[in-house]
A and B are shown apart, each in its own frame.
Chain A
Amino acid sequence: MNTTFSRALLLLLPILFAAGCANFSAITPGASAQQVEKLVGAPTSVWKNADGSEVWEYPQGPLGVETHMVTLGPDHAVREVRQVLSDETISKLHVGMSRDEVRRLLGRPRDIGFSSLNDEEIWSWRYREWGVRNMELYVQFDRSTGALKKVTRFQIDTSDGKRQ
């Protein structure tokens, strides 16, 4: 009984591991679209640019704190792979941006919410800063104009509640 269970678990582990850690670092510039699909599966969204290039979006990877963007040239070869939930990308956000612009920068939000106080739409992401700090990002849009109003970042504090 126990051994059956352990064996099942052992068999299951590599599958869980593979699912949790799609291997974006194995994608190298020049790789084909087919190779990308084989390594990390089909994208959630595909953004087509005017020049024939494409961006493949893979939101909320391992633990929901990473989103990868794979850019393919017009020749369908990989140009670059980027993990976009980072301070570098977030610092490009600015007041007045459209939902589409934000979506293309950061990918699909983890969640979309609404405020009780005003006509606002709130997009939220979780990400990790320096690989260690758990962060929460809120991007607030004016719903009537669709323009970005405010960006706020928080570090999730895990110490306080356990301190008393």
Chain B
Amino acid sequence: MIAALHRAAALLALAVVPAACANFSAISPGDSAQNVEARVGAPGTVWKNSDGSEVWEYPQGFYAVQTFMVAFDPDHAVREVHQALNEAYFSRIQPGMSREEVRRLIGKPREIWYFPARDEETWTWRYYEVNYKFFNVLFDRSAGTVRTTLRLDEILFMDGRGRH
């Protein structure tokens, strides 16, 4: 009975750990696409460039605070790997940029909200910098271009309402 429980727990641990800690730091420049797939699975989205190079995008889920980008050279070898949800990439987002430009910089948002009265579309990413924060990009919905960006610190109610 207890042994069975242990076995179930062991199996579960094996299933949970790879999903939670896909090992992006183990990917090094020069690795093959097969190697990458073996380590971290198939990407959420593949961005193809005209020169034959590609970027594989790996969002980590609704509650996650990281999105990994794996860039491949035209010869299908890894050029570099980076985590896109931080200020280094947020600060590159400028008014006038298109949805695709934003998407290619920092990946798929966790959620999109529409505000018809302002003809606005708000894309949200969760990230971590000292605290859990949210990065919002506000688009002019008709024009499809960035209006502005917003960084938000979540304030939790004392009773825990507002938690994610």
Contacts and interface: CB of A to CB of B under 8 A. Distances in A.
Contact of B151 (A135, A151, A161): A161
Nearest to A135: B155
Contact of B113 (A113, A150, A157): A113
A111 B115 contact: yes
Contact of A136 (B112, B115, B152, B162): B152
B117 interface: yes
A158 to B, nearest CB: 8
Contacts of B37: none
A164 B91 contact: yes
A155 B118 CA distance: 21
6 contacts: A113-B115, A114-B113, A115-B113, A117-B111, A155-B153, A156-B152
Interface string A113-152: 1111100001010000000000110000000000000111
Given A115-B111, A122-B113, A160-B87, A153 B154 contact: yes
Interface in B116-164: 116-118, 120, 122, 129, 133-134, 149-155, 157, 161-162
Nearest to B117: A111
B153 A157 contact: yes
Nearest to A111: B115
Q: In the A-B complex, list the 4 residue pairs whose CB atoms are closest, starting with the nearest.
A: A154-B152, A116-B112, A157-B151, A113-B115
Contact of B114 (A91, A114, A160, A161): A114
B150 A91 contact: no
Given A151-B161, A153-B162, A164-B87, A116 B111 contact: yes
Contacts of A113: 113-116, 120, 122
B64 to A, nearest CB: 15
B133 A157 contact: yes
B149 A161 contact: yes
A76 to B, nearest CB: 33
A38 interface: no
Contacts of B149: 161
Interface in B63-118: 87-88, 90-91, 111-118
Given A113-B115, A155-B153, 8 more contacts: A113-B116, A114-B113, A114-B114, A116-B114, A117-B112, A156-B152, A160-B129, A161-B91
Interface string A17-59: 0000000000000000000000000000000000000000000
A59 B134 CA distance: 27
B153 A154 contact: yes
A70 B19 CA distance: 55
B31 to A, nearest CB: 30
A150 B87 CA distance: 28
A41 B24 CA distance: 61
Nearest to A120: B113
A157 B116 CA distance: 25
